[in-house]
């Protein structure tokens, strides 16, 4: 059993929205949730990538429905919640993993690069949280009238922040601002949604993805010794001296989606091999 990948944590009968599920951590989370028994709304802007993820989810025996569109569009966010309810009958888990980078030092950064990053990360997370909570709120009030508190049902929101949002990073003023905003949003919604038994937590992961592997924080280093030195220094930031693959960080996402986290809310969990010690 691979506990790092969340094996043994079951989500049978649950349904989840995973944004940015066309690759990287989002794809790994969608597949892991499917393996744990959840039905998945797969969201991405790439039709090909989203359908690839859906096939991976279906290959492990779970249901997957693709909904394309940008997360920063409030109508798209609403459509994701509506799709979960219409396709699966209910929504239990929301995971906001969609992300982009537009790295430059601030004096070289265009205003549009700020807006693009804030729209995907912060506004997209906000829009999807609002859509889910608007759906859940009346349902929970109905449940309170008929359910014994001992049988209370918890819903889950899992947001994604980063080391840059927690401590800043040169060349990422847009990204760091967005990710720091997600921390504040997570803690605020944990307070707002706590009485509704909605756990709202965030994960700050470090994993090898197409986005992170191509990222040099706006330095635009060419292949060769300078870039190799940069990558070596990044690796050495980790206390464990290695950077995980996306499927090696999914255990944290499964934990926050499972009943094991029912008494945890408003927290940020670093899953980074000790890079933020």
Indicate whether 44 belongs to any domain: yes
Q: Residue 274 half-sphere exposure, CB side, CA atoms within 13 Å?
A: 8
**Which positions ≥6 away from 184 have C-beta within 8 Å?**
none
Q: Give how far Cα 15 sits from Cα of 129, 215, 270, Å.
A: 15, 33, 25
Q: Tens of pLDDT along 199-209?
A: 999 999 998 87
Q: Return the pLDDT at 8.
A: 60
> Distance between CA atoms of 246 and 274, rounded to whole angstroms?
16
For residue 52, give every residue at least 6 positions away whose Cβ sits within 8 Å of its Cβ, in sequence order, or none: 22, 27
- Asked whether residue 276 is assigned to any structural domain, the reply reads no
pLDDT at 218: 46
Tell me, yes or no, whether 115 lies in a domain.
Answer: yes
Residue 247 contacts residue 35 (beta carbons within 8 Å): no
- Give the residue ranges of the chain where pLDDT is below 50: 217-219
The domain of 194 spans 3-271
CATH, residue 216: 3.40.50.720
- Does residue 277 sit within a domain? no
DSSP per-residue string spanning the chain: --GGGTTT---TT-EEEEETTTSHHHHHHHHHHHHTT-EEEEEES-HHHHHHHHHHHHHTT--EEEEES-TTSHHHHHHHHHHHHHHHS---EEEE-------B-GGG--HHHHHHHHIIIIIHHHHHHHHHHHHHHHHHHHHHHHS-GGG---EEEEEE--HHHHH--TTBHHHHHHHHHHHHHHHHHHHHHGGGTEEEEEEEE-B--HHHHT--TT--PPTTHHHHHHHHHHHHTSTTS--B-GGGSHHHHHHHHSGGGTT--S-EEEESTTTT-
Dist. CA 40–CA 271, nearest whole Å: 23
pLDDT in tens, 81-114: 999 999 999 999 999 999 999 999 999 999 999 9
Task: Give residue-wise pLDDT tens across range 244-260.
Answer: 899 999 999 999 999 99
Query: How many distinct structural domains can be found in the chain?
Result: 1
| Catalytic sites, residue numbers | 175
What's the Cα-to-Cα distance from 79 to each of 64, 124, 158, 162, rounded to whole Å?
A: 15, 13, 19, 27
Q: Are strands 93-96 and 64-68 parallel, antiparallel or unpaired?
A: unpaired
* Nearest-10 Cα torsion for 131, 132, 138, 144: -160
Residue 252 lies in a domain: yes
């Amino acid at each position: 059993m691979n506990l790092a990948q969340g094996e043994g944590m079951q989500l049978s009968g649950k349904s989840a929205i995973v944004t940015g599920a066309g690759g990287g951590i989002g794809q790994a989370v969608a597949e892991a949730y499917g393996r744990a028994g959840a039905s998945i709304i797969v969201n991405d802007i790439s039709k090909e990538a989203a359908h690839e993820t859906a096939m991976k989810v279906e290959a492990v025996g779970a249901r997957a429905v693709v909904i394309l569109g940008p997360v920063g569009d409030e109508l798209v966010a609403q459509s994701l919640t509506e799709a979960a309810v219409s396709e699966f009958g209910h929504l239990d888990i929301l995971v906001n993993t969609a992300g982009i980078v537009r790295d430059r030092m601030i004096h070289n950064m265009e205003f549009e690069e700020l807006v693009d990053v804030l729209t995907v990360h912060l506004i997209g997370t906000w829009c999807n949280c609002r859509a889910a909570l608007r759906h859940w709120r009346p349902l929970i009030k109905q449940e309170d009238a008929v359910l014994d508190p001992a049988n209370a049902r918890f819903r889950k929101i899992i947001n994604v922040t980063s080391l840059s949002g927690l401590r800043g990073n040169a060349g990422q003023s847009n990204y760091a601002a967005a990710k720091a905003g997600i921390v504040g949003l997570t803690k605020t919604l944990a307070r707002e949604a706590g009485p509704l038994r909605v756990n709202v937590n965030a994960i700050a992961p470090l994993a090898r993805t197409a986005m992170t592997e191509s990222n040099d924080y706006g330095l635009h280093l060419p292949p060769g010794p300078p870039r190799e030195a940069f990558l070596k220094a990044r690796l050495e930031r980790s206390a464990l001296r290695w950077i995980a693959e996306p499927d090696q960080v999914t255990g944290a996402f499964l934990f926050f989606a499972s009943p094991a986290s029912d008494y945890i809310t408003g927290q940020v969990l670093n899953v980074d091999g000790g890079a933020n010690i």
